[in-house]
C-alpha cells in the first residue's frame, strides 16, 4: 500500500516522468551495444570511429535521426540508428553527454598544427568554439577527435553526400579558395594536436 502511494507522489515532485521509464531501458543499458565500437564511455580506440562521450545531447539526437533517415551518410550507423525509438536515442544521448570527451592519443604534425590554429581562428572558431573543444548543440567536438574520422566526414561534406549548413559551406569554400586542401589538412592536424 505504501509503495503504491509513494509512486505518484514521486512523479508529481519531479514534474515530468523520467524518459527511462517510458522506454524501459536506461541510457547505460542501451549504450552497452554502442561501446563495442565507440569504446567504453564513448572513448573510441579505433581511428575511423568517432568518440561520442561528452558530445551534446542535441547534436547526438539530430545526427542519429539524420543517420536513420539517410540524410547523413554512413557505413553502419544508418542501420543501427533505425533500430531505436526516439526515446531510446534521447536516453543514450543523455548518457553519453555526461561522460567526459577524452581526446585521442594520436600522431600529428606540429608545424601543420600551428598553421591550423590560425586557420581555425579565422574560418571555424565562430561555430566550433574553444579551438573546437566545445560540445556545440548543433555540431560535434573537433578537437581531439580522430584524424581519420575527420577526413572521412569532411570528404562526405565536400562530395555533397553530407550537407553542410550554408554558412559552414561558405567558410569552407573561402578556406579552400585561399589555402587549398593543404589548409584543411593543417586544420585537422590542429584538432589532432589537442590531447
Q: Which of 50, 60, 135, 138 is nearest to 92 (CA)?
A: 60
Neighbours of 92 (CB within 10 A): 26
Which residues, 6+ apart, have CB-to-CB distance to 99 below 8 Å?
A: 41, 42, 43, 53, 54
Q: Rounded to 10 degrees, what is the CA torsion of 123, 126, 130, 136? A: -120
Residues that bind ligand HEC (CB under 6 A): 33-34, 36-38, 48-50, 52, 60, 63-64, 74-77, 80, 92, 123-124, 126-128, 138-140, 142, 150, 153-154, 165, 167-168, 171-172, 175, 187
Which residues, 6+ apart, have CB-to-CB distance to 104 below 8 Å?
A: 44, 47, 51, 144, 145, 146, 147, 192, 195
CA 172 from chain center: how many Å? 19
State the minimum distance, in angstroms, from the CB of residue 103 to ligand HEC. 14
State the minimum distance, in angstroms, from the CB of residue 98 to ligand HEC. 14
Which residues, 6+ apart, have CB-to-CB distance to 173 below 8 Å?
A: none
Nearer Cβ to ligand HEC (22/136) = 136
Nearer Cβ to ligand HEC (17/170) = 170
Nearer Cβ to ligand HEC (22/94) = 94
Nearer Cβ to ligand HEC (6/129) = 129
State the minimum distance, in angstroms, from the CB of residue 17 to ligand HEC. 22
Nearer Cβ to ligand HEC (22/58) = 58
- Judge whether 176 and 119 are in contact, CB under 8 Å: no
State the minimum distance, in angstroms, from the CB of residue 187 to ligand HEC. 5
Nearer Cβ to ligand HEC (17/71) = 71
Tell me which residue has its CB nearest to ligand HEC.
Answer: 140
State the minimum distance, in angstroms, from the CB of residue 21 to ligand HEC. 20
Quote the cell numbers at residue 142: 573537433
State the minimum distance, in angstroms, from the CB of residue 34 to ligand HEC. 3
Amino acid at each position: 500500500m505504501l509503495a503504491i502511494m509513494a509512486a505518484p507522489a514521486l512523479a508529481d515532485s519531479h514534474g515530468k516522468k523520467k524518459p527511462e521509464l517510458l522506454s524501459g531501458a536506461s541510457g547505460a543499458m542501451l549504450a552497452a551495444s554502442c561501446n563495442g565500437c565507440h569504446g567504453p564511455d564513448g572513448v573510441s580506440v579505433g581511428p575511423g570511429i568517432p568518440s561520442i562521450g561528452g558530445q551534446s545531447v542535441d547534436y547526438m539526437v539530430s545526427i542519429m535521426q539524420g543517420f536513420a533517415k539517410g540524410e547523413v551518410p554512413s557505413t553502419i550507423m544508418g542501420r543501427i540508428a533505425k533500430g531505436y525509438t526516439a526515446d531510446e536515442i534521447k536516453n543514450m544521448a543523455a548518457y553519453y553527454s555526461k561522460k567526459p570527451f577524452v581526446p585521442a592519443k594520436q600522431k600529428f604534425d606540429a608545424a601543420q598544427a600551428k598553421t591550423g590554429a590560425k586557420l581555425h581562428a579565422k574560418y571555424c572558431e565562430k561555430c566550433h568554439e574553444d579551438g573546437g573543444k566545445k560540445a556545440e548543440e548543433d555540431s560535434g567536438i573537433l578537437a581531439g577527435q580522430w584524424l581519420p574520422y575527420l577526413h572521412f566526414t569532411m570528404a562526405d561534406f565536400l562530395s555533397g553526400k553530407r550537407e553542410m549548413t550554408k554558412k559552414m559551406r561558405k567558410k569552407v569554400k573561402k578556406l579552400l579558395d585561399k589555402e587549398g586542401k593543404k589548409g584543411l589538412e593543417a586544420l585537422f592536424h590542429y584538432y589532432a594536436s589537442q590531447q
